[in-house]
């Protein structure tokens, strides 16, 4: 697969440095970046779309409760009222040889089966919201995990240098040498067949922690390598050398001098990683090695809809569109955030 180019920003010393031309305004680099971002109309639209997606997915339990349904239970023998008539949710064919069963189609009525039913007779719209929640939770948690691991490795490797840097860099190189999806699929297949234990924590086969852990780990080199490169540069900067010369503890230097200057880069990575994590999670779930039934994610709903493409295309189209819209918004926002935080840029 091709990934977005690694977003290396100018050393954060630059955004940290105030514009001497306008000291009176007292505007820090973060406010400047936010101002630039707000001026970017595409970014604001993307942000609004993302917030809307998040809000909708958070409403999933309320929507299901309002409908009085459980979108995780099979409803193969259920019926639904449409225009005052009771119709079966799963309707056996009555024409020709009577082969096949067709789920109820989109009613375009928010009062039930707005997007129709899947092959278990479950409300696709409600599952779409629940699925989105899982997809976003997995993507968010995987992003946090990835950033934490990558920052730790990048910091240690870049600051310590020498043998430590060599060993950590080679480990990252080896990890990055695997095609991302191949590695994710391999890990998923191995881990999904049984629960495993790390210390006091046991992760069951169907746990959401599995896709979170897998996705979080496979993208670590993607983030850690540019972080390490930036730390190498920062390590030679005057303020770090001065801190070392003053005999300050390494931990304090990393925490107070190096890490804050990495923040812009890490922030730029957030939307990019979120987008990558959403697509990866969807791919794994589509292949049955991500979120396990009856839980839903956008990937599992696409898989459910695959067998209904001819008769009930919305079952697969709806989560597909949700992924496209969300990832597109994240990518546009990611570009805008990078531009806004890039001190070499001149704003828009």
Partner 1 sequence: MTTRIGRAALIGAALLSTTSIAASAQTREELMEQHRGGTLRLVASAAGGTIDPQINYTAQYWQVMQLVYDGLLTFKKAAGEEGGVVVPDLATEIPEPTNDGKTYVFQLRDGIKFSDGTDVGVDDVVASFQRIFKISGPTSGTFYNGIVGADACLASPADCTLEGGVVGDEAARTVTINLVAPDPEFLLKISVPHAVILPAETPATDAGVNPIPGTGPYYFESYNPNESLVMARNPNFQEWSQDAQPDGYVDRIEYGFGLTDEAQVTAVQNGQADWMFDQPPADRLNEIGTQYAEQVHVNPLTAFWYAPMNTNLPPFDDVRVRQAVNYAIDRAALVQVFGGPVLAQPVCQILPPGFPGHEDSCIYTQSPGTTWTAPDMDKARALVEESGTAGQDVTIVVEDTTVSRGVGTYLQSVLTDLGYNASVNAISSNIQFTYIQNTNNNVQISVSQWYQDYPAASNFLNVLLSCASFHPGSDASINIAGYCNEELDARMQAAMELAVTDPEAANAEWAKIDQAFMEEAPMAPLFTPKAIDFLSTRVGNYVFSNQYKWVMSEAWVQ
106 contributes a contact to partner 1 by CB under 8 A: no
- Options 123-131, 199-207, 223-231, 319-327: segment touching partner 1 (CB under 8 A): 199-207
Burial class (CB in 10 A: 0-12, 13-18, 19+), 238: exposed
Q: Closest distance between partner 1 and the C-beta of residue 76, in Å? A: 4
Binding to partner 1 (CB under 8 A) within 245-304 occurs at 288, 292-294
Residue 110-129 contact track with partner 1, rule CB under 8 A, x = bound? ---------xx---------
74 contributes a contact to partner 1 by CB under 8 A: yes
202 contributes a contact to partner 1 by CB under 8 A: no
Nearer to partner 1, 237 or 288 (CB): 288
| Radius of gyration from C-alpha coordinates of the chain | 24
Q: Closest distance between partner 1 and the C-beta of residue 180, in Å? A: 20
Query: Are 294 and 283 in contact, with CB atoms under 8 Å apart?
Result: no
Binding to partner 1 (CB under 8 A) within 75-104 occurs at 76-77, 90, 92-93, 95-102
Query: Are 148 and 220 in contact, with CB atoms under 8 Å apart?
Result: no
Q: Closest distance between partner 1 and the C-beta of residue 313, in Å? A: 9
Give the separation between CA 348 and CA 342, rounded to whole angstroms.
Answer: 12
Residue 206-245 contact track with partner 1, rule CB under 8 A, x = bound? x---------------------------------------
Cβ count near 309 (within 10 Å): 11
Give the separation between CA 338 and CA 143, rounded to whole angstroms.
Answer: 17
Query: Are 179 and 185 in contact, with CB atoms under 8 Å apart?
Result: no
Q: Which residues have C-beta within 8 Å of that of residue 69, sequence separation ≥ 6? A: 75, 112, 122, 123, 126
Host H or E run for residue 87: strand 85-88
> Token pair for residue 152?
């730790």
Please report, as ranges, the residues that interact with partner 1 according to CB under 8 A. Answer: 72-74, 76-77, 90, 92-93, 95-102, 119-120, 189, 192-194, 204-206, 288, 292-294, 307-312
């Amino acid at each position: 697969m091709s990934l977005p180019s690694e977003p290396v920003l100018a050393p954060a010393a630059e955004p940290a440095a105030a514009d001497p031309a306008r000291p009176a305004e007292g505007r820090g680099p973060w406010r400047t970046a936010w101002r630039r971002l707000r001026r970017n109309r595409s970014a604001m639209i993307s942000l609004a779309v993302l917030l809307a997606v998040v809000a909708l997915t958070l409403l999933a339990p309320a929507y299901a409760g309002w409908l009085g349904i459980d979108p995780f239970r099979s409803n193969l023998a259920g019926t639904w009222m449409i225009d005052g008539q009771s119709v079966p949710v799963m309707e056996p064919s009555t024409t020709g040889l009577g082969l096949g069963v067709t789920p109820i189609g989109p009613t375009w009525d928010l009062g039930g089966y707005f997007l129709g039913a899947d092959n278990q007779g479950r409300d696709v719209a409600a599952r779409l919201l629940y699925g989105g929640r899982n997809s976003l939770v997995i993507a968010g948690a995987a992003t946090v995990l990835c950033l934490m691991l990558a920052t730790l490795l990048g910091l240690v490797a870049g600051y310590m240098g020498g043998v430590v840097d060599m060993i950590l860099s080679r480990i990252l190189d080896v990890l990055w040498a695997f095609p991302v999806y191949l590695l994710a699929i391999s890990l998923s297949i191995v881990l999904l067949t049984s629960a495993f234990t790390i210390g006091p924590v046991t992760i069951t086969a169907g746990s959401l922690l599995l896709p979170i852990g897998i996705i979080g780990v496979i993208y670590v080199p993607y983030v850690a390598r540019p972080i390490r490169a930036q730390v190498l540069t920062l390590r030679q900067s005057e303020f770090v050398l001065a801190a070392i010369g003053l005999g300050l503890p390494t931990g304090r230097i990393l925490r107070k001098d190096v890490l804050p200057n990495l923040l812009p880069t890490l922030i730029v990575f957030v939307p990019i990683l979120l987008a990558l994590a959403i697509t990866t999670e969807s791919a794994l779930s589509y292949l049955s090695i991500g979120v396990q039934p009856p839980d839903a994610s956008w990937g599992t709903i696409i898989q459910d809809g695959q067998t209904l493409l001819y008769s009930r295309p919305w079952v697969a189209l709806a989560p597909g569109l949700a992924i496209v819209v969300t990832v597109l918004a994240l990518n546009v926002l990611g570009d805008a955030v990078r531009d806004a935080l890039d001190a070499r840029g001149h704003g828009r």
